[in-house]
Structure 1
Amino acid sequence: MDELKTDFWATALMRRAAIAGAFAGVTRKGDTDAGAVLVKVATMNGKARLYAPARDGEGERIWLDLSAGSLGDVEADVDAYVRKRADNDPDVWVIEIEDKFGRHFLMERVDSGAA
Structure 2
Amino acid sequence: MVRLRTDIFVQALIRRVSATGAFATVARKGALEAGALFIIVDRLDGRLDLYGPAPQSFFMDETEMPADRFFMPLVRESERGKIEERLVSESRFDPDLWVVEIEDREGRSFVAVSDSDASSGRP
TM range (shorter): 0.7 to 0.9
The within-5 A match list for 1:3-22 is 3-22=3-22
Normalization by structure 2: what TM-score? 0.80
What one-letter code is carried by the residue in structure 2 that aligns with 1:80?
E
Distance 2:120 2:86 in 1: 16
One of 105, 111, 114 as aligned partner of 1:110:
114
Name the residue aligned to 2:44: 44
Q: Residue 76 of structure 1: CA displacement?
A: 1.8
The alignment of Structure 1 onto Structure 2 pairs a total of residues equal to 111
Aligned CA RMSD, in angstroms, stands at: 1.8
CA distance in 2 between partners of 1:12 and 1:109 (Å): 17
TM-score between both structures, scaled by the size of structure 1:
0.85
Structure 1 residue 7: Cα displacement: 0.3
- Once the two structures are TM-superposed, the CA of residue 82 in structure 1 deviates from its matched residue by 1.2
Question: Structure 2: any 5+ residue segments left out of the alignment?
Answer: none
Provide the rounded CA distance (Å) in 2 between the counterparts of 1:109 and 1:41: 13
Q: Runs of 4+ in structure 1 displaced over 6 angstroms?
A: none
Which residue number in structure 2 is paired with residue 59 of structure 1? 65
- 1:86 maps to 91
The offset of 1:22, in angstroms, is 0.7
% of aligned pairs identical? 37
Amino acid across the alignment from 2:100: I
